[in-house]
Amino acid sequence: MRFGPILPRSFYQRATVEVARGLLGKVLVHGPTAGIVVETEAYLGGDDLASHSARGITERTRVIFGEPGHAYVYLIYGMYECLNIVCEPAGQPGCVLLRALEPAAGLEIIRSRRAAARKPEDLASGPGKLTLAMAITRAHNGVDMTRGPLVVREPTERRELEIQATPRIGISQCADRLLRFVIRGNRFVSGGIRRAHV
DNA sequence: GGTAGGATGGGCT
DNA sequence: GCCCATCCTACCC
Residue A159: the pLDDT is: 83
Per residue of chain A (198 residues), what is the pLDDT tens digit? 789 999 999 999 999 999 999 999 999 999 999 999 999 999 999 999 999 999 999 999 999 999 999 999 999 999 999 999 999 999 999 999 999 999 999 999 999 999 999 999 999 999 999 999 999 999 999 999 999 899 999 999 888 899 999 999 999 999 999 999 999 999 999 988 766 655
Which nucleotides of chain C have an atom under 7 angstroms from any protein CB?
Answer: 4-9
Which nucleotides of chain B have an atom under 7 angstroms from any protein CB?
Answer: 2, 7-13
DSSP string, A141-157: TT-BTTSSSEEEE--SS
Beta bridge pairs of residue A85: A71, A96
Residue A148: the pLDDT is: 84
Determine if strand C comes within 7 Å of the CB of A169: yes
Domain range annotation of chain A: 9-159
Q: Name the nucleotide with the smallest C1'–CA separation from A128.
A: C6
Q: Name the nucleotide with the smallest C1'–CA separation from A59.
A: B11
Determine if strand C comes within 7 Å of the CB of A117: yes
CA–CA separation, A41 and A17 (whole Å): 8
Do residues A122 and A136 lie in contact, with contact meaning Cβ atoms separated by under 8 Å? Answer: no
Residue A192: the pLDDT is: 83
Residue A85: the pLDDT is: 98
Residue A194: the pLDDT is: 67
Residue A28: the pLDDT is: 98
State how far the alpha carbon of A17 is from the alpha carbons of A23, A33, A87, in Å: 10, 26, 9
Show residues, CB within 7 A, near nucleic chain B: A 52, 55, 58-61, 75-79, 194
Residue A196: the pLDDT is: 65
- The domain defined by A9-159 folds into 3-methyladenine DNA Glycosylase; Chain A (3.10.300)
Give residue numbers, 137 to 156 of A, with CB < 7 Å from strand C: none
CA–CA separation, A56 and A156 (whole Å): 39
In angstroms, the CA of A90 and the C1' of C3 are apart by: 29
Residue A197: the pLDDT is: 58
State how far the alpha carbon of A112 is from the alpha carbons of A38, A117, A136, in Å: 22, 10, 15
